[in-house]
Amino acid sequence: MNEMKLSKRLQTVAEYIPKGAVMADIGSDHAYLPCYCVLNDLASAAIAGEITDGPFLSAKQQVEKLNLSSLISVRKGDGLEVIQKGEVNAIAVAGMGGSLIAHILESGKEKLTGRERLILQPNIHAYHIREWLHKEGYALISEDILEEDGKYYEILAAEIGDKDAAYEGISFEAGVLVGPFLAKEKSAVFIKKWSQELEHLKNIHQQIKGAAPSMENQQKLDELSERIEILKEVLERG
Global confidence as pTM: 0.94
Q: Which domain covers residue 209, as residue numbers?
A: 189-236
**Domains of the chain: total:** 2
Handedness of CA 169, 152, 91, 52 (dihedral sign): positive
Burial 36-46 (b: 16+ CB within 10 A, else e): bbbeeebbebb
Q: Assess if residue 148 is contained within a domain.
A: yes
Does 105 share its domain with 152?
yes
pLDDT score for 1 = 65
pLDDT of residue 2: 65
Residues 124, 217, single domain; the answer is no
Residues 75-131: pLDDT tens digits?
999 999 999 999 999 999 999 999 999 999 999 999 999 999 999 999 999 999 999
Structural domain ending residue among the three candidates 178, 203, 228: 178
126 plus 97 within the same structural domain: yes
Residues in the chain where the model's pLDDT stays below 50: none
CA distance 192 to 114: 35
pLDDT of residue 99: 98
